Structure 1
Amino acid sequence: MADSGEGDAVGGTVIVADDNEKVTDLYAGYLDPQYEVRRAYGGEETLERADGSVDVVLLDRRMPDLSGDDVLDELREREYSLQVVMVTALEPTMDIVDMPFDDYVVKPATEEELHEVVERQIVRATYDTRLNEYLRLTSKLDVLREEKSEEELEESDRFEMLTVLARSLYDDIQEMLDEHDLDADEPEGLIEPP
């Protein structure tokens, strides 16, 4: 039967989904207690365990009741803001180009590999959220700068607050990029100081 991991999880919620119970339990054991781990022993059970509180799904591609590819499609249709990592014995082929997963690990996966991929996906999700908020704020700043006079902007506490918030998010994003060596993923000129 499936299990919601107990313990002192601190890093987020992860679903480990594989029809091979030994593999599911092994991978779940690697990640618990750092993460809240939910075990799923098939595709249907994965969909039952998934909800808006899940951060990462480690998903096998070959499951008899519902394939990992189908589970992936259904998770994306539900529009959960979770990261999906395919963890499978299938060597990647060109068909993965059109698949909406976030990372791919070929089995057998080590404890270190699983911890690295889960951490990377949680960081990326946090980065995406902050980056989107930053882009929303800078869009507002740009419009106000175009439409309002310098004098109006200087007199506006709300504009100043928006500028401070955007700058704080910018600094957070830069710090996160530096801390996790993700700057290679940043498109040239995507973010600039507000």
Structure 2
Amino acid sequence: MARSSWRTGVMGLGLGLLLSGCQTLGLAGSSPDGAIESGNQFVSRSVRGSQLISRTLPASLSLRRGWQMAPPQTLHPNADLQAYHPGQAIFLVVLGESKTSVASGTLEQQALQYLQIMRRSFDQVTSPESRTGVAQISSYPAVQYAFQAAVRGESVAYLHTTVEMGEYYYQVVAWTRADRYPANADEMRAIVQGFGPD
């Protein structure tokens, strides 16, 4: 099985949390330098704000107000970064992989490949993938699609962004209940824009 297949089973992620109202997740303890650590990610705080940083890949996410680090494997067993906004019930994971481990092609072709793999994990796609106008994330080339799918009987709205950054492709996937998407769409777009290199 190609690495892309197992790294992309992203789509029912955190559904139990989503359905139960996004109860507070427990976090690991703080390190002596004040960083909050949890598995392969940690939060670094500075005067510029909080950054969620991957220990495994050169990637980070600016945590906007209200966002928290999710404990390891809570949202996806293989995520390099995972966070959630309990007040708005929005979830986000980042999955990265080396370009050498995926089939060759353009960024657009890779994004479509990820979407095709994602479709397999849904009960059904309930709205067609719609390409947004996003062409860059943190000055790196990106392709972004919005769509809705049924997952275990629940309608979920997704914002799926493929970012080409250095020698890696990253999937930045944000989701929320479909009925909350109109209120959450701006926050979902904004948190994705906070993804970048470490």
Same fold (TM over 0.5): no
The structure with the largest helix share of the pair is 1
Structure exhibiting the larger radius of gyration computed from Cα positions? 1
Query: Which band: TM-score by shorter chain?
Result: under 0.3
The structure with the largest strand share of the pair is 2
- Give the TM-score taking structure 1 as reference length: 0.25
